[in-house]
Structure 1
Amino acid sequence: MAFALRNRQELDSDQFTEMLEHSPAKAAQAILAAAGQGLVEAQLLLGQILLDGRGIEKDPGLARRWFAIAAERGSAMACNMLGRCLEHGWGGEVDQAQAAQHYRQAARTGLDWGLYNYANLLATGRGVIQDHATALSCYRQAAELGHAKSMNLLGRYLEDGVHCPRDVHSAQRWYQRSAEGGDFRGQFSHAGVLAAQGRTQDALKWLQQALEGGNANFLRVAGPALELAEQPEIRRLAQAYAARLAQLQAQA
């Protein structure tokens, strides 16, 4: 990937990554210049740094507009990010139905994140009619592309036998792959399997990783669940989950 700048020089992806790390304001200006010249990838990146406030003043509304511009020009990831803005109300009103349309558009290109986000709405019936069969299909497609979060949710469908034959062994394999892929919910699911097999120390390792990577919503549910564990070592870890949740809430 290369960005054309106003002086017609080019900044390749490695240079950009280094610039963003060491001089985010300079990188932001380079992205802004390239986005203004119509480079779709730069428009997508400009939306992201405006959303994050990295190297440039945070402006979710403007981020949403740049995602829309890049989406109109064919960027599947921009469609996905525009969907996220609409789903969560970043930079404007919440519109779950419009979010679903953009996720569906991204999903049709085979984008793993588009498949995952569209499946989430289908599974919960937000913005669309609830459709577990299509949600399962999307999660499976994304999981097969290597999407760790989708692996965990595919595992749940398989474990529970929701709109598919129940297959506990396949579910466990997907949980393991999700955990190894870095998804904190997958790590928690995989730890549950290990704990049930009597592999408490292995379970504790994955629970610790889930603790370190988990967000507040996850910790709010996972902590009380650990309090019900048979193993005292795992029950004690619930206190660490509660402390981490309190820390995240204080930072919010």
Structure 2
Amino acid sequence: EKGDPKAMTMLGELYANAFGVPRDDAKAAAWYKRAADAGDREAMFELAMLRLAGRGGPVNREEAAKLLASSAKLGNPKATYNLGLMYLGGETLPQDVRRAAELFRVAADAGNPEAQYALATFYKEGTGVPKDAEKAARLLQAASMAGNIDAEVEYAIALFNGTGTAKNEAAAITLLRRAARQNNPIAQNRLARVLASGRGVPVDRVEALKWHTIAKTAGKGDPELDQALSTMSAEDKAKADAEVHKWFGTK
């Protein structure tokens, strides 16, 4: 009521996320709009996300792009990253991978893990920037340390193969185990492969079959592993099956 934009933004958060009040997207959008008009960069970002999702009003990608640009200009890393995604997608804004890379770099430098992962992918593939495996690995490491699971898996693979960083199979397997336990199918598949082959870790075909089966339920099949593990004894297969049931809580 006294015109504090931060308080307005917080009210928007409460209504958008049903924190202590019933969820009301229209009220959330209205409070975000007032705060955004008063210059609050967080409100600009949150209102942009509502406009993209069609919450509290119809989908409005053009307004969202303007809000993201304004928030990014005020130094909001999340807005900068999402504006980069819009330039990458080329639906609302003209597709410009170099501009997307620039925005990802700004957001990455500000510590945004999603931007770090996206920029790492750009360096890995040479999209909008020259290929640079070392820069990709450093960004993957930073995003991994900030909790980005996809980056954690990619960094583990880079460590395992020595791509852009010193080869370290033990550290890679530690990361794969952590990501596998967080239900990442790619990590589960890669962990199953190293356990089955004994590369960098003692062979454990029971655990390999466990993770292979779990990854398959998420659509990450692997015919080579099917073949490699097909000769296991009935007893070991039963052990792996019991571990799978324990994972899913079905027995």
User: TM-score higher than 0.5 here?
Assistant: yes
Work out whether residues 152 and 189 of structure 1, in 8 Å CA contact, stay in contact via their aligned partners in 2.
Answer: no
3-state secondary structure, aligned to 1:98: helix
CA separation in 1, counterparts of 2:90 and 2:216? 32
Conservation of the 8 A alpha-carbon contact between 1:194 and 1:202: no
Who is 1:28 aligned against? 29
CA contact (8 A) 1:64 1:90 kept: no
Match of 1:85 in 2: 86
Poorly superposed stretches of 4+, deviation over 6 Å: none
55 and 16 in structure 1: CA distance in 2 versus 1, 3 angstrom threshold: closer
Name the CA shift for 1:23/1:186 in 2 (closer, same or farther; >3 Å). Answer: farther
- Residue 18 of structure 2 aligns to which amino acid in structure 1? E
| 2:144 alignment counterpart | 143
CA distance in 2, matches of 1:184, 1:155: 14
Q: Secondary structure at the match of 2:93?
A: coil
Equivalent positions of 1:158-237 (< 5 A) are 158-194=159-195, 196=197, 197-198=204-205, 199=207, 200-208=209-217, 211=218, 222-223=220-221, 226-229=222-225, 230=227, 231=229
Distance 1:53 1:186, change over 3 A: farther
Aligned residues: 216
**Deviation readout 1:36-79 (Å, 9 max, x if unpaired):** 22211111111112222233211223222211110000101111
**Alignment TM-score, normalising by the size of structure 2:** 0.75
- Tell me the distance in 2 between the aligned counterparts of 1:101 and 1:81: 12
Shift of 1:195: 5.1
Partners of 1:187 and 1:51 in 2: CA distance: 33
Q: What amino acid sits opposite 2:107 in the alignment? A: A
Distance 1:3 1:168, change over 3 A: same
Q: Kindly indicate whether residue 59 of structure 2 is the aligned counterpart of residue 58 of structure 1.
A: yes
- Residue aligning to 1:248: none
Q: Which amino acid aligns with 2:213?
A: L
Is the CA contact (8 Å cut-off) linking 2:69 and 2:79 kept in structure 1?
yes
Q: In structure 2, do the counterparts of structure 1 residues 69 and 193 end up closer, same or farther at CA, with 3 Å as the change threshold?
A: same
Instruction: Tell whether 2:119 aligns with 1:123.
Output: no
* Cα distance between partner residues in 2 of 1:47 and 1:53: 10
Tell me if 1:11 matches 2:20.
no
- Structure 1 CA distance for aligned equivalents of residues 25 and 144 of structure 2: 33
AA in 2 matched with 1:179? A
TM-score normalized by structure 1?
A: 0.75
Distance 1:52 1:91 in 2: 14
Contact 1:3 1:34 in 2 (8 A): yes
Distance verdict in 2 for CA 1:15–1:227, change over 3 Å:
same
Q: CA RMSD in A?
A: 2.7
Q: Summarize the Cα distance change of 1:12–1:85 in structure 2 as closer, same or farther, 3 Å threshold.
A: closer
Partner of 1:246: none
Counterpart Cα distance in 1 of 2:62 and 2:15? 28
Identity percentage over the alignment? 24
Residue type at the aligned position of 2:156? G
